[in-house]
Amino acid sequence: MLLTQAGQAHHDYEQSVLKGVYDQDWAGWYAEYVIQNGLSECLEQEVTVQQVSQFFTQSYEVYKGKKSGESWADYTAREMQQTQFV
Domain annotation covers residue 36: yes
Domain annotation covers residue 86: no
What's the CA gap between 81 and 55, in Å, rounded? 12
- Give the count of domains, the chain: 1
Domain annotation covers residue 71: yes
Range of the domain at 35: 2-81
The pLDDT confidence band at residue 19, using thresholds 50, 70 and 90, is very high
**Does the pLDDT at position 1 exceed 90?**
no
- For residue 31, give the 3-state DSSP assignment: helix
Query: CA–CA distance from 85 to each of 14, 15, 47, 51 (Å)?
Result: 28, 32, 7, 7
The pLDDT confidence band at residue 70, using thresholds 50, 70 and 90, is very high
Domain annotation covers residue 45: yes
